[in-house]
């Protein structure tokens, strides 16, 4: 085992599911999903449409109770523990939804300050000051703070939503299709921002993506969902060896799927 793999294997597990079964009405979405993500990893969850990737994030975030199995964050089963402990665990992770989910009636800084106002006793003024600090962390200029979400470009909205996910200084980030809807330059800039934040803040990241460029640029671990279960997990080269028709089509759609893309300068405006 390479030295870097040995170091990673020694890190504590931050996210772990064991035999998760999830049903929506009469439809069974997951039929025993087991996976783990270690501290400091960027893990990418991939799979065809309808394989339950977003549903699994909802289970992990405490938004959807599974029919069976366990979902553990920071070694705590969030569906078994008491409500006070569950709330403490929730404050240790941030979530970026696919559409950003910014409140349209609030300014950008008010959106970012919302978790601070809900979960701390800080004054409104202090929450707004911290919100502007988070904006700078994700590469947005101070002028974005007073704008409404619909005044931002797609890339800027993604960054604003990421700033809100970082509001409570989480140790773990869940990201649902963070580069969807972005042009290629903005998407690669967002990838670079995410890796920089992981490296500087020591974050653990579990992201859903269909973006093969993001997968190539970011993923330490790739987890494949198929037919209600984890088809495989491991490094990108390991996943590329799996004999699965969808995976073969997925990787063959990208001419550079065997070589990482070159880095692009960060677009600080996310446009």
Instruction: Say which CATH number the domain at 232 has.
Output: 3.40.50.300
Same structural domain, 180 and 243: yes
Identify whether the C-beta of residue 44 lies closer than 8 Å to the C-beta of residue 222: yes
Instruction: Tell me what pLDDT residue 97 has.
Output: 85
Per the prediction, the chain carries an average pLDDT of 89
Record the pTM. 0.87
Structural domain count, the chain: 2
Reference 60, options 35, 28, 31; nearest CA is 35
Q: Is 269 a residue whose pLDDT tops 60?
A: no
Report the pLDDT averaged over residues 138-152. Answer: 93
Q: Is 191 a residue whose pLDDT tops 80?
A: yes
Block residue for tokens 């523990």: 81
User: Starting at the edge strand that comes first in sequence, how are the strands of the sheet with 204-208 ordered?
Assistant: 93-96, 172-176, 204-208, 42-46, 221-226, 229-234
Q: Residue 1 class from Cβ within 10 Å (0-12 exposed, 13-18 middle, 19+ buried)?
A: exposed
Instruction: Tell me what pLDDT residue 267 has.
Output: 44
Q: Is 171 a residue whose pLDDT tops 70?
A: yes
Q: Which of residues 154, 169, 184 is at a domain's end?
A: 169
Domain that holds residue 159: 105-169
Same structural domain, 178 and 161: no
Instruction: Tell me what pLDDT residue 252 has.
Output: 86
Instruction: Tell me what pLDDT residue 98 has.
Output: 76
- Beta-strand ranges (E) seen in the chain are 13-24, 27-38, 42-46, 68-73, 76-77, 93-96, 172-176, 204-208, 221-226, 229-234
The set of residues, in sequence order, having a beta carbon less than 8 Å from that of 202 and lying 6+ positions away, is 39, 40, 171
DSSP state of 136: H
């Amino acid at each position: 085992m390479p030295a870097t793999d040995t170091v990673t294997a020694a890190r504590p597990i931050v996210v772990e599911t064991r035999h998760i079964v999830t049903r929506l009405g009469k439809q069974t979405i997951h039929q025993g999903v087991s996976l783990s993500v270690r501290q400091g990893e960027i893990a990418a969850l991939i799979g065809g449409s309808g394989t339950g990737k977003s549903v699994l994030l909802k289970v992990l975030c405490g938004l959807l109770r599974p029919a069976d199995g366990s979902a553990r964050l920071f070694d705590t089963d969030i569906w078994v523990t008491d409500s006070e402990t569950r709330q403490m665990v929730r404050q240790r992770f941030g979530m970026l939804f696919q559409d950003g989910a910014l409140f349209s009636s609030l300014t950008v800084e008010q959106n970012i300050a919302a978790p601070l106002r809900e979960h701390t006793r800080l004054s409104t003024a202090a929450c707004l000051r911290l919100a502007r600090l988070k904006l700078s962390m994700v590469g947005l200029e101070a002028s974005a703070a007073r704008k409404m979400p619909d005044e931002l470009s797609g890339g800027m909205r993604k960054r604003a939503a990421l700033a809100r996910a970082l509001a409570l200084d989480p140790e773990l980030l869940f990201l649902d299709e963070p580069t969807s809807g972005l042009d290629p330059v903005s998407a690669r800039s967002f990838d670079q921002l995410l890796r920089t934040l992981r490296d500087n803040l020591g974050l653990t990241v579990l992201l859903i993506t269909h973006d093969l460029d993001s997968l190539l640029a970011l993923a330490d671990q790739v987890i494949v969902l198929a037919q209600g279960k984890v088809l495989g997990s491991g490094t990108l080269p390991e996943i590329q060896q799996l004999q699965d028709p969808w995976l073969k089509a997925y990787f063959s759609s990208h001419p550079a799927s065997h070589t990482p893309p070159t880095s692009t300068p960060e677009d600080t405006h996310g446009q």
